[in-house]
C-alpha cells in the first residue's frame, strides 16, 4: 500500500501536468513550425512561433489555419501560415504591385518592392477565382461572411488564397506571435504589429 501511495505521489502530478498542457494547447496557445519560404522575409523556414488561440484577427494579422478542406491539394491536417488581407465583406484587388482593400491601398512596407511586384500580378477576387478554378465561391467579388482572404508575404512562391480561395473561420487555429528571442526587431514587428497600420498613409 505504501509503494502504491508513493507511486501515485508522482504519477498524479504528471497526469495533472499533461492535462494542463493539453488544455493550454487546445484553448490558449501552441508552438508551431513555419514550413517553407512563403512568409519570407518575416518568417523563415523551420522558425518556431506561438499561435495564440484567442487573439482577435485583424487586417494584416498573420494566422495559422488547417489547409485540409481549404487547399484542394491537401487531404490531411496541414498547418499553413499566411497574412490576412481581406476580412468578411471586403473587396480585394491588386494592380502594379499594390494591394487594394475596399478601394484603399494597403501598406506593404513589410516586404520589398520586388516582392510586391514579382508574382503578385494584376487581379480582382473574381478574376483569380475564375482563372484558378476555385472549387468554392468562383466568381465572388467580396470575401464571404465567416471567411478570410490570405496571402503569403513572399508572393512569387506562396501557395495562398489567390489559388484556392478563402479560409473559413472554423479552420483558423489562431494568430501568430513571434517571441522576443526570434527574428529581428523589424521582422517581429512586421508579424506582431503590422495590423496596427494596415492601410497606406
Cell triple for residue 196?
A: 496596427
Number of domains the chain contains:
1
Task: State the pLDDT at residue 133.
Answer: 95
Q: Give strand pairing partners of 70.
A: none
Identify the active-site residue in 9, 25, 38, 56. Answer: 38
The C-alpha cell that represents 2 in the structure block: 505504501
- Would you place residue 4 in the very low, low, confident or very high pLDDT band (cuts 50, 70, 90)? low
Range of 124's domain?
2-197
Tell me how far apart the alpha carbons of residues 60 and 62 are, in angstroms, rounded to a whole number.
Answer: 6
- pLDDT recorded at residue 183: 87
Residue 82 a catalytic site member? yes
Whether 201 is catalytic:
no
List the catalytic residue out of 25, 53, 82, 112: 82
**What is the per-residue pLDDT across 83-99, written as a single tens digit (0 to 9) for each?**
999 999 999 999 988 99
In the block, residue with C-alpha cell 497574412: 83
> The CATH number of the domain where 99 resides is what?
2.10.109.10
Looking at residue 72, its pLDDT comes to 95
Amino acid at each position: 500500500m505504501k509503494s502504491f501511495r508513493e507511486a501515485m505521489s508522482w504519477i498524479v502530478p504528471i497526469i495533472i501536468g499533461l492535462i494542463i498542457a493539453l488544455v493550454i494547447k487546445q484553448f490558449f496557445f501552441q508552438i508551431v513550425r513555419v514550413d517553407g519560404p512563403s512568409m519570407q522575409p518575416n518568417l523563415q523556414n523551420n522558425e518556431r512561433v506561438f499561435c495564440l488561440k484567442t487573439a482577435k484577427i485583424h487586417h494584416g494579422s498573420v494566422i495559422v489555419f488547417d489547409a485540409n478542406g481549404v487547399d484542394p491539394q491537401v487531404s490531411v491536417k496541414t498547418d499553413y501560415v499566411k497574412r490576412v488581407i481581406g476580412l468578411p465583406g471586403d473587396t480585394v484587388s491588386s494592380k502594379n504591385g499594390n494591394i487594394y482593400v475596399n478601394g484603399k491601398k494597403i501598406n506593404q512596407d513589410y516586404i520589398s518592392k520586388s516582392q510586391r511586384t514579382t508574382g503578385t500580378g494584376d487581379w480582382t477576387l473574381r478574376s483569380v477565382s475564375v482563372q484558378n478554378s476555385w472549387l468554392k465561391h468562383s466568381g465572388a467579388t467580396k470575401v464571404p461572411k465567416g471567411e478570410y482572404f490570405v496571402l503569403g508575404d513572399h508572393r512569387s512562391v506562396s501557395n495562398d488564397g489567390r489559388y484556392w480561395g478563402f479560409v473559413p473561420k472554423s479552420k483558423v487555429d489562431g494568430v501568430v506571435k513571434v517571441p522576443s528571442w526570434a527574428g529581428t526587431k523589424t521582422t517581429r514587428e512586421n508579424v506582431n504589429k503590422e495590423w496596427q497600420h494596415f492601410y497606406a498613409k
